[in-house]
Amino acid sequence: MKNITVIGAGTMGNGIAHTFAQFGYKVNLVDLSKEVLEKGITTITKNLDRMVTKGSISEDDKNNTLNNITSLTDLKEGVSNSDLVVEAATENKELKLKIFKDLNNLCRPDTILATNTSSISITQIAAVVDTPENVIGMHFMNPVPIMKLVEVIKGYNTSDKVLNTIMEISKNLNKVPVEVNDYPGFVANRILMPMINEAVETLYNGVAGVKEIDTVMKLGMAHPMGPLQLADFIGLDVCLSILNVMYDGFKNPKYAPCPLLVNMVTARKLGVKSGEGFYDYSESRKAENISKMFL
């Protein structure tokens, strides 16, 4: 299995493409937008440059990685010969279902179809294809080239063969795959998002300020990043989407998003990617500093 397609060249997609390419896989990076593709390749190049500077890879490694990536806007061309497709589009259920319906018509019957969803049911996504046994969750953590964990989510119909294949591929990427069951939020976000939401509630209720809340969690709980800063880094819209999926899935009020989070997303204060969230990222170097914390 050497031919990989990654759908979506945004933050997660370009990170996933970077990682597969760095470990010798041939990667088609597909996005409808040429601009997003160009930005994605630029991000990959900058991240590789940082790795070269730090001595973790060589200049030849960087060039080989970039040569392993082909950017495409045509989905049919991008997936026609793929052994594995990893969908990394926006965390939107309807969009993902549409993509998988298209993949059902364009891919070989034996192609493994993975989704990088952080909360949406794998079983529900698999229901729109003819080979649900080939559909699996492959939830990478951000930033993908650095973070070790991959949540591997087996849907109701996912075959053991596909599960074992994805576990081995994840290990080939120098990741640590962890098998989890198909419930809203899986493990990572089922635990993380209520914590972030509670931090927002703490701010909303006037218990403490943004920096104070984050400082307590960093110094008192040994978190590398406070929950509000982490929410900015993830994207407040993504946090809201995941909380809504869990609230709809469990019907438990503990997953109901804080009104402050809802208002901030409505006002397009989304964190690093919009230039403002709980912190101010209006200067480009501030957003750059967030990336440098990891790379």
Domain boundaries, the chain: 3-181, 189-289
Selecting among 71, 82, 151, 241, the annotated active-site residue is: 151
Report the mean per-residue pLDDT for the chain.
94
Give pLDDT, residue 294: 42
Task: Please name the fold of domain 3-181.
Answer: Rossmann fold (3.40.50)
Indicate if the pLDDT at residue 149 is higher than 50. yes
Give pLDDT, residue 295: 40
Q: What is the mean pLDDT of residues 136-158?
A: 97
Selecting among 116, 189, 241, 274, the annotated active-site residue is: 189
* Domain at 189-289: CATH code: 1.10.1040.10
Give pLDDT, residue 292: 43
Give pLDDT, residue 283: 64
Q: What is the mean pLDDT of residues 180-186?
A: 95
User: What region does 283 belong to: left with phi over 0, alpha with psi -120 to 50, or beta?
Assistant: beta
Residues that constitute the known binding site: 8-13, 31, 91, 96, 118, 142, 273
Selecting among 118, 134, 170, 197, the annotated active-site residue is: 118
pTM, 2 dp: 0.89
Residues that constitute the known binding site for NAD(+): 8-13, 31, 91, 96, 118, 142, 273
Residue 18 bears catalytic tag? no
Indicate if the pLDDT at residue 89 is higher than 60. yes
Residue 139 bears catalytic tag? yes
